[in-house]
Structure 1
């Protein structure tokens, strides 16, 4: 069987859940056949819908519905007119088990300050890295332990704000879908008692403690002055480490995720949960004492990612909601009720607008003292947001909630954040349309897109091979570290190779699988985390 280079039929290259809606995307109308891979038997014959213009990709596309195929197995699709075939895929009760496992295992590969041994890392093992103490910016005499945590992305920086978003996604996934994490990863801490997802989050949380100043303020990030060359293995990055100045956004996110962690870890480790709670309360005190935005911008001699943000109201709101959910102290309830009146997006799930985690904490709170008016308002806003995602999905040729101008840096993060929100709306409203729309986002990520590409390394018939990720670039292994979510199409063309090779292409086509394309093909912990949350929905034990 020869794969078409014309991308005539695209499918989810991993598979489709049994009894779900199943669609392929075609660039030609006509009759198609679903074929069982092993026997070559035609198990279904169908007709595509009419071709429609997909503005984002520049293609004329049609859906082909094969939902009637509910046999377990491996299949591919053939267009009867010209014998073009799709990638192979599975139909299973839970087709995403290995992918879910890989998305979680990726966080182990992102670990800093620990030797990744062949026992757990396979061929992608390497020595411990970044073990030296770091100095506080503008105070070179103040050296602090800064080991541990996750490398943020394709570089070796460690950042509080996106790290908090990643931990929040993992903790929320465990909170809502605990049975999805029954299987060990495994990682060095695997003990059969505490789920490995919580062991993994603790690796990052233990590092975050080191980012908190005695005042309660939190250093914004820990990096070298410049990014190391692409060919640098983590243990060879020996430049001085710098604690960048405290920011109110980092402090707010820290307080929020520590308060959430205090609840989640309480049944497993009460002492650790208490430590998380104390750290959250201390940082809240800093926020109260520093009511103005203390925004972060890179100092002139630091050129690593800055994650700058001119507002912190969303971070403060998240912190107040999580602290109220943990302590039930009316002080935090009063604070969140006050902050909620401010104009900011109440369901943002991005590091730059992260208030949605606060709203979710409030809606999921078991406190008997929630404000009914606020609770009902948040439910109404959640439904409106989900309905908007649903509307956008119906206008897109591949069924996702991105408009033409939303193919930005890290567009796959946006796709998965939107799928998260749809699944949370499904949890509250039981509207099957939300669940089906979220699954369409999964299909897009895993190959049912205009590039016929699975955006997760190591998964799919045709997956990303050359991510902007230093460990995979610098090692001598042909295959990239598996389970990493690539950033995805970015019409901004922010890097040189994108500008050279992607000029004039429609937004959804603005992607290049090349190690130099940091603007389309980098990886990041907070791109993996919403994908893990979303796949947990279909991995949970029924």
Structure 2
């Protein structure tokens, strides 16, 4: 039985396995981060690995969102019958306080005895929406035992949001992370020396800054651009959510922390652009020797590529738009860099060859209204696969949303097609979620990428045409990821009772930079 009274503390450790699609398809293979005890290293030992408290690696039979439930929101708990005789299944469950085990609420369980669940087990469900007293609780059912503990309160997602956003601060390269802001993840400065070119080791370049994105402390333009794109999309849809500070050095500077963090990566991206040609170097790779501290290793700049260049053009164009009123000088700098990269990508023959050219054209058209960019968009609009590409491809999806939001002249038929595809996919997600035992949009429960992409689609649709039903579906997906899935594990963080670590998963959502950005989109819709 899981103990609801024990919580193991752990640092939020950067452990990344980047799962790319769309814009990130050509990004280099990236391995997860491993623990190290080197002084001033890029990662620190995880206290959970050496704690004297051993968590039982037994999958819970009562599934709750271990993070918690909003006070007035719908609340559902799931029960899995793995070994009880169906005649002995409990008919009720109790909500108990973690502080003193006092029973505060009792409700009935409904069992689906007429069919096997998606996992071949008998699934029960119970609702406790009517219980709206804030506090810390666990659920008990006879024969099934205790659930993991959870909270009820209007701010249950606040700390999760802060942790998700602070991960990017903990990934910063080129600066020391002080204990004041990084806690146990504090470390000294890293990679502050000039980098050398892969094609000519006698030449050097200042490319300090940016985010570490893998276990080798590498930095990658396409991957960084995809992360920024998702963060900017989230900010544009729900800017009011991102007014909360998350405890980084820039907190309190009257600029949302998410934009401060994006700015840190964008400044690095600007350093990766060749000022004479406008082309963009693809990556900054840490060339560490065996046993060498990654912080002190040489950094190598890889060659300019059309993929990195057109991805850069798209993302810097988006930055220019969002920072227009916040920092006009930075916005202008981003626009000039974006246009120069777009021209360089065009000279390389990249336009139309890489889908990031659609997103770049959409952003630059929104900014300038220039016919050149509209012509590039029209080429994509004429494709017979445009609507399916819009749903399946990161860059086409985000470029299409940008086109819907522009104040420049638009093709209304195209806008209708985009909206039709968006609403159609949202309804497909809604129908699938209603049929699912676990209230989510896919039966592939370990496919976190699809789950988060579906929620990105639903969040965008809900932003355009608000639906309380969509909000509940989005929140149900959050519940699934935070412990209400078949394994009962919190798949996002390692700070609750039963997590991905006990479940055998390599890394949590917050410790994968791409998934973390997409998870923030989901959170922004329900906070």
TM range (shorter): 0.7 to 0.9
Q: Give the alignment's TM-score, normalised by structure 2.
A: 0.81
Instruction: Note the alpha carbon deviations across 1:456-494, whole angstroms, 9 max, x for none.
Output: 33443323459xxxxxxxxxxxxxxxxxxxxxxxxxxxx
Residues 400 and 318 of structure 1, relative CA distance in 2, 3 Å threshold: same
- Deviation of 1:254 after TM superposition, in Å, equals 1.0
Matched, 1:219 2:281: yes
The correspondence for 1:347, drawn from 390, 398, 402, is 390
User: CA–CA distance in 2 between the matches of 1:429 and 1:522?
Assistant: 29
8 Å contact kept, 1:14–1:459: no
8 Å contact kept, 2:181–2:248: yes
Q: What are the within-5 Å matches in structure 2 for residues 251-266 of structure 1? A: 251-266=309-324
Matched, 1:53 2:41: no
Residues 49 and 422 of structure 1, relative CA distance in 2, 3 Å threshold: farther
8 Å contact kept, 2:167–2:511: no
Residues 47 and 69 of structure 1, relative CA distance in 2, 3 Å threshold: same
Match of 2:169 in 1: 108
The correspondence for 1:372, drawn from 412, 416, 420, is 412
User: CA–CA distance in 2 between the matches of 1:165 and 1:443?
Assistant: 25
Instruction: Note the alpha carbon deviations across 1:236-293, whole angstroms, 9 max, x for none.
Output: 4x1x322223332222221111111111111121110000001110111122222258
8 Å contact kept, 1:115–1:128: yes
8 Å contact kept, 2:107–2:126: no
User: CA–CA distance in 1 between the matches of 2:378 and 2:90?
Assistant: 56
Flag structure 2 segments of 5+ consecutive residues without an equivalent.
Answer: 4-55, 82-88
SS at match of 1:416: helix
8 Å contact kept, 1:54–1:397: yes
User: CA–CA distance in 2 between the matches of 1:347 and 1:32?
Assistant: 46
User: CA–CA distance in 2 between the matches of 1:34 and 1:169?
Assistant: 40
8 Å contact kept, 1:145–1:210: yes
Instruction: Note the alpha carbon deviations across 1:130-173, whole angstroms, 9 max, x for none.
Output: 22222233222231112110011343111111211211222222
User: CA–CA distance in 1 between the matches of 2:449 and 2:76?
Assistant: 23
Match of 2:526 in 1: 538
Match of 1:296 in 2: none
SS at match of 1:140: coil
User: CA–CA distance in 2 between the matches of 1:378 and 1:441?
Assistant: 24
User: CA–CA distance in 1 between the matches of 2:347 and 2:204?
Assistant: 26
8 Å contact kept, 1:17–1:95: yes
The correspondence for 2:452, drawn from 410, 413, 416, is 416
- Deviation of 1:348 after TM superposition, in Å, equals 5.0
Residues 391 and 436 of structure 1, relative CA distance in 2, 3 Å threshold: same
User: CA–CA distance in 2 between the matches of 1:22 and 1:371?
Assistant: 43
Q: What are the within-5 Å matches in structure 2 for residues 189-208 of structure 1? A: 189-208=250-269
User: CA–CA distance in 1 between the matches of 2:498 and 2:124?
Assistant: 21
User: CA–CA distance in 1 between the matches of 2:295 and 2:371?
Assistant: 47
8 Å contact kept, 2:456–2:522: yes
Residues 6 and 286 of structure 1, relative CA distance in 2, 3 Å threshold: closer
8 Å contact kept, 1:346–1:359: no
8 Å contact kept, 1:347–1:355: yes
Match of 2:62 in 1: 9
Match of 1:306 in 2: none
Residues 155 and 400 of structure 1, relative CA distance in 2, 3 Å threshold: farther
Aligned length, in residue pairs:
461
Match of 1:526 in 2: 514
User: CA–CA distance in 2 between the matches of 1:455 and 1:48?
Assistant: 26
User: CA–CA distance in 1 between the matches of 2:69 and 2:407?
Assistant: 35
User: CA–CA distance in 2 between the matches of 1:522 and 1:13?
Assistant: 15
Instruction: Note the alpha carbon deviations across 1:68-93, whole angstroms, 9 max, x for none.
Output: 3233222221113x151111112222
User: CA–CA distance in 2 between the matches of 1:349 and 1:141?
Assistant: 43
Match of 2:498 in 1: 462
User: CA–CA distance in 1 between the matches of 2:448 and 2:146?
Assistant: 26
SS at match of 1:15: coil
SS at match of 2:146: coil
Residues 415 and 217 of structure 1, relative CA distance in 2, 3 Å threshold: same
Residues 391 and 249 of structure 1, relative CA distance in 2, 3 Å threshold: farther
Matched, 1:27 2:90: no
User: CA–CA distance in 1 between the matches of 2:494 and 2:347?
Assistant: 48
Residues 101 and 233 of structure 1, relative CA distance in 2, 3 Å threshold: farther
